[in-house]
Amino acid sequence: MKKILLTGAAGFIGFHLVKKLIDFNFEIIGLDNINNYYSIKLKYDRLKQLGINKTDVKKKLLVNSELFNNFSFVKADIADNKFIINFMKDHQFNYVINLAAQAGVRYSLENPFAYVKSNVSGFLSILEGSRITNVEHLIYASTSSVYGLNNEFPLSEKQPVEHPISIYAATKKSNELMAHSYSHLYHLPTTGLRFFTVYGPWGRPDMAPFLFTNAISLNNTIKVFNYGEMFRDFTYVDDIVQSINKLINIPPKLNPNWKQNTSDISVSSAPYQVFNIGNSTPIKLMDFIKSIEKELGIEAKKDFLPIQPGDVLSTHSDSSLLEDYIKFKPQTDLSYGVKEFVSWFKNYY
């Protein structure tokens, strides 16, 4: 049974990924610092679904799941460099999936130091631990936000990402650069995943699906930025999880045919790759709001506002490189995804 370290296990995507992987022949150790960026209760409630009780969780102590004998959890911070590296030495993981990060575009304007600590220093812990323990494949979360001012759609891995417009995006861009350095220097196989607006049940309360659904259900006014003239490539969480599951056992390899003067920045001589993961179907913000209104049976009160600093006008993923690589296409229909999210929201809240 091969071992996986999955960081960010109490987070939105991490939780869903654990649920997926426990059905396969893996021993999984989840790790999360359970910070208070958003509701700690929601994070512990996710863990409870995985058989981890809040009362059993102690800092840096491994807790076994009461529901799944191939899952355990440790509360720790990836920015605790010494602990992370020693923990990885002790457990000798075959695969590492790093989803732990300080998330959120707008919060990065308020507290940039939190992003450098978690997303840069923390990621370095993961890279060093992976190098020292000869991890077979490191998969890590990047973001579509790295495209920044790029407005050539659909967004492709072949396009430059030199102009991020938030500290969050800049730290994720740095992850890709750091990963390439380790792939080149130490032949560590790394795969970066640029997520496009992930949504679904158990989603984060700081993101649009929750904010809209919560406000509309309470008959409060929702904030509609850029006067509704925004597009997002909403991607259902199950498609993200399915993609990661298919990637685990197919790490990138050294590419002896790489040409140094190539203009294709999506390829490298190193065992390194970056993929978009998006539904490839941008949805107008107002249409997304209408789909929530339909599921709730309530028309939203709307406050139309200018665009927020750090936000981009549109995202549209070209996920063809990923689809060719894993023979799977993220394509869950928005109406289904919103219905599932709103149904969970009603039950949980």
**199 near 236, Cβ under 8 Å?**
yes
Residue 223, strand partner residues? 303
Measured distance CA(165)–CA(125) in Å, rounded? 26
Asked whether the CA dihedral 302, 305, 311, 312 is positive or negative, the reply is positive
DSSP characters for 257-288?
T--TT-S-TT--SSSEEEEEE--S--EEHHHH
Residue 74, strand partner residues? 31, 62
Residue 168 designated active-site:
yes
Catalytic residue among 37, 107, 168, 199: 168
Measured distance CA(31)–CA(284) in Å, rounded? 36
Measured distance CA(36)–CA(230) in Å, rounded? 29
**What amino acid positions are annotated as catalytic residues?**
168
